[in-house]
Amino acid sequence: MSDQATAAIWPPMQRDGKSAEFFDAARRGELVIKKCGGCGELLAPEAAVCTTCGGTELTWVPAAGTGTLITWTVVHRAPNRAYTDLVPYVVGVVELTEGPWLYGRITGTPSATAVLRTEFVHPDQGESYPIWSTEPGATTESDK
């Protein structure tokens, strides 16, 4: 089953108070990360405190949406029943151009030299979210 075909049945993601800005940006087709108000360090979206200075004044800033694939794995055995129809699929760790590392689903053919770009899935239920494409010019179908 292709990644485009599985977008509709991927288990829905749900927001909480800490993730609302991330999911709002994803709905707009934007990738955002956090920036420390104390030292300017750029951090992953889930950061609650700056890893450089310990600051807690973090704001959301846009990211370019490009990065390098650090590592990946192909999932052949579903971790639970919600993923049974999705295997095999690829997940990996991406180092954003800005520096923070994010993890997520990878489409295309992963390689140690892959330069990735963010694409967004917009399901009927749950939240919009980013995935990573290794194929220049590839598009992900939205579920509208």
Alpha carbon 57 to chain centroid distance? 23
Any residues with CB less than 8 A from the CB of 79 and at least 6 apart, and which?
A: none
Predicted pLDDT of residue 144: 29
Name the residue among 134, 92, 120 with its Cα closest to residue 10: 120
Name the residue among 96, 97, 116 with its Cα closest to residue 106: 116
Give this prediction's pTM.
0.82
3-state secondary structure of 1: coil
Supply 115's token pair: 């330069």
pLDDT tens digits, the chain, 144 residues: what are they? 344 444 446 777 888 888 999 999 999 999 999 999 999 999 999 999 999 999 999 999 999 999 999 999 999 999 988 889 899 999 999 999 999 999 999 999 888 888 899 999 988 878 899 999 986 544 433 322
**Where are the chain's structural domains?**
14-133
